[in-house]
Amino acid sequence: ALINYHGKLGVLRYDHNGYFSGTTRSLELWVLDDVEKLKWLRQIYVLPPLWKNLVANTRLNIVGMTGNGEFVFSPAVLRDPFYILYYNVEKNTIVRVIIQGIGPVSGQEIYTFIDHVEDLKRM
């Protein structure tokens, strides 16, 4: 998964299953540090034990990274309640935010974007 890591190209490697889940123990991030020399830096972030309890057997996709340096994860399949996770690498904390108003639909794939803007004005 490609992400914007503080203005640099970052590649976050998924688990061997092709997604993140409760069995994920760490995140492996490669950052393109020097474009001309093609120098990559590898960083490993060990997830806190709370990760396993919050995520359980949910398949998660990486949505991106906030300006505050938090990785954002979203379930790959819509379920009730729908939530996103913020993982702060500096504090090694996880925050789960429940999104209300999605509706009774569940079991469908969902795609979440970190920087999507839509005009919601009524016509």
pTM over 0.85: no
pLDDT score at 72: 92
pLDDT score at 118: 61
pLDDT score at 100: 80
**pLDDT tops 90 at residue 53:** no
The candidate with the shortest Cα–Cα distance to 75, out of 47, 106, 45, 104, is 106
The alpha carbon torsion through 19, 23, 106, 71 (nearest 10 deg) reads -60
pLDDT score at 43: 93
Averaged confidence pLDDT in the chain: 84
